[in-house]
Structure 1
């Protein structure tokens, strides 16, 4: 005799199970397509050795700009502090 299902667990109909199976199949297909697309993009990027140079240069330039802004902020704060400490009397 099979075990009795608790009353709070609803009985799943065949249409619900088929819909769930269809959703899983659709997600699996989408995941495989996304993986294939990523693999094609990866292969294309590896085909040209200079393909990522502009991205790398952009990141380095952005870091240098951030560093320059920080340095200007520090120097200006020190100059302003020194200007406030000057006494004319």
Structure 2
């Protein structure tokens, strides 16, 4: 692992993801450059309802589309269901 590139605005990415229907909150967000060309993204996603796996797969597809716009090619997303506490972005 190396570092978060200066041109990556984690708060902007988080806001775009939180605007996806069904996403309640994003937290525990990390972005780092893993080698000369590849960026890694990690986050926990609270969803607004208890979804089936197929419902989360649709959200995940939208998240990956957003990330590709930032040239992020690798991601680890942890879904969290029916969580009622408020969390903040950590990076």
After TM superposition, the score normalised by the length of structure 2 is 0.24
Greater Rg by CA: 1
TM-score by length of 1: 0.24
More helix by share: 1
